[in-house]
Amino acid sequence: MLKVVITELEYEKALDIFSRSAGFEFIPTAADEDSVAQALKKSGAAAVILGVRKYTDKLYEALPEGGLIARFGVGHDGVDKAKAQAKNIYCINTPGALDDSVAECAVGLMLAVVRKLVTHGADLKNGHWHNCGGAELSGKTLAIIGCGHIGLRVAKICRDGFGMKVIGNDLNKPAQIDYYDSFCESFAQAVENADFVSLHIPHIKETENFINAERLAMMNRKAALINTSRGAVLDEDALYDALSSGVIAAAGLDVFKFEPYDPQSPERDLRKLRQVVLTPHIGSSTADACRRMAESLITDLRLYTNGQYGKMHLLQS
Q: Which residues are catalytic?
A: 230, 259, 281
CA-based Rg of the chain, rounded to a whole angstrom?
21
Helix (H) or strand (E) holding 167: strand 165-169
User: Which amino acid is residue 287, in one-letter code?
Assistant: A
Residue 124, C-beta contacts closer than 8 angstroms, at least 6 positions apart: none
Beta bridge partners of 197: 143, 225
For 71, counting Cβ atoms within 10 Å of its Cβ (0-12 exposed, 13-18 middle, 19+ buried), the class is: buried
Q: Which of 230, 275, 234, 282 is nearest to 252 (CA)?
A: 275
| 204 contact partners, CB below 8 Å, separation of at least 6 | 77
How far apart CA 57 and CA 68 sit, in angstroms, is 15
Phi/psi at 27 (5° precision)? -120, 95
Q: Is residue 220 helix, strand or coil?
A: coil
User: How many angstroms separate the most distant Cα atoms in the chain?
Assistant: 63
Instruction: Count other Cβ atoms within 10 Å, centred on residue 285.
Output: 18
CB 7 within 8 Å of CB 36 = yes
* C-alpha separations of 209 from 81, 185, 204, 206 in Å: 21, 18, 10, 9
Residues 109 and 252: beta-carbon distance below 8 Å? yes
